[in-house]
Amino acid sequence: MSALKRSVPAMKTRNSFALQALVFSLVCAAFTTIYITQPVLPVLRAEFGVDEARASWTIAAVVLGIALSNLPFGLLSDRYPIRPIILIGGVMVASCGAVCAMTGSLAVLIVARFIQGLFIPSLTTCLAAYLARSLPAESLNVVMGAYVSATVAGGLGGRLLGGWIHPPLHWRFAFVSASFLVLVTTVAAVKWLPQNNRTLSADAGGVGFIRLLATSDFLRTYLVAFGAFFVFSSVFNYLPFYLSKPPFQASTEIITLMYLSYVIGIIIGPLAGKLSNRIGNGFTMVLGTAILGLSMGLTLIQSLPVIVISLVGICAGFFAIHASAAGALNRKLTSSRGRANSLYVLFYYIGGAIGINLSGYAYVFSGWHGVVGLMLAILLIPFTIGITEIAKERKNRTIR
């Protein structure tokens, strides 16, 4: 009997590890597709004979697609079984990846990337909602940890894949590799995801989207997500153009190495959460914004070692803002967690899409100085909201 009792936790541990691996693989593969073209944007500009803003739509289109379809897929995941949604989404993302690898038209490439963005939430948002609905609390925290790590690993992996495949082969082969990964992980998820025995979301009777947007506390947090990703996505999107020109004239391989600074997000996320517990989400938000703004200024110093330091600071500042904003949102929620977090993701990706677009015009007209100036102006959003949060947190502590 004692041996049987010992085997039950061991079986649960194995099952939990298998589920973490499955979730990590699918989410990582999905996020890998988003940023494939980012390190080779100067190559795309030259190959298709377009300006920086036009080439950058190969990233902006994906981000815009994710923003537009995130809420609809969130609703679908509450009403329909997860396996068909994942299967259809995975096939669509992989098929469009094949189109991206074969097309000789930038317009077709951008449209295919947009469709990829539309279906990526079927592999990410729907999976997160399914896990929240299916798993007990003690298992959910662990598995969602794998989910968050996969978003960082996938974002980095896509950039490395796109940058390091070119020029030994060609940037198109990166789409072939990514599409294969998406298909394999999609089939694995459809086959091995555990059965969901719960039919209703925990938030089924909660507050609606309009009510959430009308609540000032939540709206402020959404604007922080908008502003933070506006800046972060723009920096890493126009960095290749900045570094490929004099005085740097960095190769695609060197530019790709710069994206390794993204790894800091794996460390900063949990640390920012702990820091927020000690000094408050508002103060962490302000501190992260200050670090991000200072690091943006450092990028104007034309030295590759300084650029490396500045990128580490940019990643540290961004992930501190992101973690503190998400923490502030969920601390304030008593219901409708799914809807509230869907809106957070919506504002997050809309900020990225608009940021990449507007920063393209800033870069075309004023170069990197124009991008930095625009970013510093947008950082006023999380900075001022962070100060507001500090005041509210102090008031709440006084009341208690």
Cβ(120)–Cβ(36) below 8 Å:
no
Residues of the chain with CATH 1.20.1250.20: 10-202, 203-400
**Average pLDDT, integer, range 8-18:** 59
Instruction: Give the model's pLDDT for residue 143.
Output: 72
Name the more confident of 69 and 145: 69
Q: With 70 as the cut, is the pLDDT of residue 197 above it? A: no
Distance from the first to the final alpha carbon of the chain: 51
Which sign, positive or negative, has the C-alpha torsion 306, 311, 312, 318?
positive
Instruction: Give the model's pLDDT for residue 41.
Output: 94
What dotted CATH number matches 10-202? 1.20.1250.20
Instruction: Give the model's pLDDT for residue 141.
Output: 56
**Average pLDDT, integer, range 281-307:** 95
How many Cα atoms are found within 13 Å in the side-chain-facing hemisphere of 104?
0
Instruction: Give the model's pLDDT for residue 338.
Output: 64
Q: With 90 as the cut, is the pLDDT of residue 267 above it? A: no
Name the more confident of 369 and 15: 369
Instruction: Give the model's pLDDT for residue 386.
Output: 95
Contacts of residue 299, Cβ cutoff 8 Å, sequence gap at least 6: 235, 242, 306, 307, 310, 311, 314, 368, 372
Instruction: Give the model's pLDDT for residue 147.
Output: 75
Three-class SS string for the chain?
CHHHHHHHHHHHHHHHHHHHHHHHHHHHHHHHCCCCCHHHHHHHHHHHCCCHHHHCHHHHHHHHHHHHHHHHHHHHHHHCCHHHHHHHHHHHHHHHHHHHHHCCCHHHHHHHHHHHHHHHHHCCHHHHHHHHHHCCHHHHHHHHHHHHHHHHHHHHHHHHHHHHHCCCCCHHHHHHHHHHHHHHHHHHHHHHCCCCCCCCCCCCCCCCHHHHHHCHHHHHHHHHHHHHHHHHHHHHHHHHHHHHCCCCCCCHHHHHHHHHHHHHHHHHHHHHHHHHHHHCHHHHHHHHHHHHHHHHHHCCCCCHHHHHHHHHHHHHHHHHHHHHHHHHHHHHCCCCHHHHHHHHHHHHHHHHHHHHHHHHHHHHHHHHHHHHHHHHHHCHHHHHHHHHHHHHHHHHHHHC
**Average pLDDT, integer, range 187-200:** 77
Q: Which of 99-103, 133-137, 146-150, 230-234 has the lowest mean pLDDT?
A: 133-137
Instruction: Give the model's pLDDT for residue 337.
Output: 67
Average pLDDT over all residues of the chain: 87
Paired tokens of 250:
């960095």
Instruction: Give the model's pLDDT for residue 280.
Output: 86
Amino acid identity for residue 334 in this structure: T
Paired tokens of 120:
């990526």
**Average pLDDT, integer, range 148-160:** 86
Unique residue bearing structure tokens 């890493």:
236
Instruction: Give the model's pLDDT for residue 138.
Output: 60
What's the rounded Cα separation, in Å, for the pair 200 and 78?
Answer: 7
What's the rounded Cα separation, in Å, for the pair 121 and 384?
Answer: 31
Per-residue model confidence as pLDDT tens digits over 102-121:
999 999 999 999 999 999 99
Closest by CA to 55, choosing from 127, 128, 141, 113, is: 113
Name the more confident of 227 and 2: 227
Instruction: Give the model's pLDDT for residue 399.
Output: 64
Paired tokens of 299:
């990028």
Q: With 70 as the cut, is the pLDDT of residue 201 above it? A: no
Instruction: Give the model's pLDDT for residue 32.
Output: 95
| Burial of 331 from C-beta contacts in 10 A (0-12 / 13-18 / 19+) | exposed
Q: With 60 as the cut, is the pLDDT of residue 293 above it? A: yes
What's the rounded Cα separation, in Å, for the pair 62 and 1?
Answer: 55
Cβ(294)–Cβ(276) below 8 Å:
no
Instruction: Give the model's pLDDT for residue 366.
Output: 95
- Structural class in CATH, domain 203-400: mainly alpha
Q: Taking each helix axis from N to C terminus, what angle separates 171-192 and 82-102, rounded to the nearest 10 degrees?
A: 170
Amino acid identity for residue 252 in this structure: T
